[in-house]
Chain A
Amino acid sequence: MTFAAAIAQISPKLGDLKSNLALYEQKIRAAAKEKVDLLLFPELSLTGYFLRDMVPSVALRLSSPEIETLKRLSRDVGFVAGLVEESPDYRFFNAAVYFEGGEIRHVHRKVYLPTYGMFDEQRYFARGDRLRAFDSKFGRMAVLICEDLWHPSAVYVTALDGALAVLCPSTSPLRGITEGEPQDDNARYWELINRTYAETFGLYLIYGNRTGFEDGVGFWGGSEIVDPFGEKIAKANYYEEDFIVAEVNFDSVRRKRTMAPLLRDEDIDLTVNELMRIRGRPDWSTVNSQQSKAKREPAKRKGDKARK
């Protein structure tokens, strides 16, 4: 399967849904003219990133008129939109929605919400609880949002779930300066992991970052499409708006996985067994261990309570 993938490296207005929707429309129409098949927008690019208390006022139900507009726009070009999704029980998710052929084909709710340093996402968003690949007309793909990709387990799971391409909408702030480098430290780290994942899992890594500033925080742009051999087949400029297109050809995935059948050789049972052992260890704990255990072991919890 061959298709033209593109990234709209835009600079949305913070909290201005209407003008960002107009920007989306403009980019989608431009993409259609250029015969783009699949277009990636950055994380939360329909709303802006540092939303804080604006979250509820820019959130969209999947039944909202704005979503209907996006569906209509997807008749010619498939695209991933970055937005705040409001669930029927009034939770707000940092979500990426894949539109294709006039319909929603997939929704990914960001799982790993950074809440440290300059980030405050878990204060405002509910956490997604799924890592899934999905079928598009171009083949099987996955969407992981920004910080999700900093967890190798997320890429690992979606690769095993059959993704031939990982689409990563991102809003990555520039930070850290090193002598003699053309980009900031954070940009360089992203480029390292994008390439590592593409080569390790033998897939296309389509990474769409935004640009512009919000309250002095700049976003470094530098969006890229990396093929399974680690080649950047398209690379956007740093620190300014851009639009890039590249031909994605899943024959490359086939060739890469033939040469290095790492996914074929994955021992899922071994991994699961070892993870279960680690999870069962008395000293095992993470920030969300209580929450995760509660979800998985309701019966045991009752017993614990009775003993108390």
Chain B
Amino acid sequence: MARNGGPGVSVKIPTNVTLLRRILVSFVQNEVEKVGVCRVVVGLSGGVDSGLSAMLAAEALGPKQVLALVMPYKSSNPESLAHAELVVQKSGIESLVVDITPQIDAYFAGFPDADQRRRGSKMARERMTILYDHSARWNALVLGTSNKTELLLGYGTLYGDMASAINPLGDLYKTQVWAVAEAVGVPEVIVRKKPSADLWAGQTDEGELGFSYREVDRLLYLMVDGRHGRHELIDAGFPAQLVDDVTLRIMNSQFKRRLPVIAKVSHRTIDRDFRYARDWGK
């Protein structure tokens, strides 16, 4: 049972949108400009994460320095395309629609038995290669859209939607993404709708994960940010099964949050005892 003074299930994730917005906008400005470019490309799915990322970048760099790539597949929900278009109109950013159906279908013609998961991952990675191609064409960085909740749960495709040069949302829980998105003016219909990776018809994140973002965000916030242990979380009212499932998800997806494992043979191995910031000399 939650008690006064204890963490309690009513724990509220702080969403100081004014401060978060200020920090994230200056993050994008600073980390883009110091690389010597002034532009970003971002994949716009029609969802709240990419909508927010794009609008923060527009605020940081100016809308004409942001190129949104909308990359539907033939089975994508038409609503997604319409919602992406809403963000483009609202923010004034540049946009381009690239239909990925031809290359996806050509590829899977050779592997007709591939299941939904394989197809979904392939599409995510196809979109990644298009983003990176346009980043080269446009002399821009690829802007990330993965939030902290999905990064911790491993709910993303490695080298797919998880790939980016800089990511303003990676330390924001979904709950915070919603709040900041509302504040920066991501169209309400996008903020309010059920999150979906749109990998197949009718898919919702929460349906697939088996819990709601608001619930798991509170759990993750206490577990990760607050360093509460298993018994404290259970005492705070979270079901033991949920605590254990989420813990396992975090552990089993750790590989997605790290560089590939390198066999050490020398005295100085990259990222182990060859340690430099990415902003080396910047």
User: B14 to A178, Cβ gap below 8 A?
Assistant: yes
CB <8 Å contact, A52 and B276:
yes
User: How does the 8 Å CB contact mask read for B30-51 relative to A, with 1 for contact and 0 for none?
Assistant: 1100100000000000000000
Interface pair B23/A218, CB less than 8 Å apart: yes
Minimum CB–CB distance for B33 against chain A, Å: 10
Residue-wise, chain B 8-39 has the 8 Å CB interface mask toward A (1 for contact) of 00000011101110110011001100100000
Residue from A174, A183, A215 in contact with B277 in the complex, judged by beta carbons closer than 8 Å? A215
Whether A52 contacts B275 by the Cβ 8 Å rule is: yes
Q: Find B281's partner among A14, A182, A212, A216 (CB 8 Å cutoff).
A: A14
A14 to B31, CA, bound (A): 12
Q: How far is the CA of A308 from the CA of B62 in the complex (A)?
A: 72
Instruction: Give the residues in chain A near B14, CB-CB below 8 Å.
Output: 177-179
Q: Are B19 and A182 in contact (CB under 8 A)?
A: yes
A54 at the interface (CB under 8 A from B): yes
What's the Cα separation between A225 and B216 when bound, in Å? 43
B277 near A218: Cβ-Cβ < 8 Å: no
CB distance from B31 to the nearest CB of A (A): 6
The answer to whether B16 touches A213, judged by C-beta atoms less than 8 angstroms apart, is no
Kindly supply a per-residue 1/0 record for chain A positions 226-243, scoring 1 wherever the CB is within 8 Å of any chain B CB and 0 otherwise: 000000000000011000
Interface majority SS (helix, strand, loop, mixed), chain A: loop
A214 in the interface (beta carbon within 8 A): yes
**A213, B280: Cβ atoms closer than 8 Å:** no
Cβ B281 vs Cβ A15 within 8 A: yes
29 A-B pairs within 8 Å (CB atoms) are namely A13-B34, A14-B277, A14-B282, A15-B277, A15-B280, A16-B281, A52-B276, A53-B274, A54-B276, A177-B15, A177-B20, A178-B16, A179-B14, A181-B16, A182-B18, A183-B19, A184-B19, A184-B23, A213-B26, A213-B27, A213-B30, A213-B31, A214-B277, A215-B277, A215-B278, A216-B27, A218-B26, A218-B30, A239-B22
A interface vs B, CB < 8 Å? 11, 13-16, 50-54, 174, 177-184, 212-216, 218, 239-240
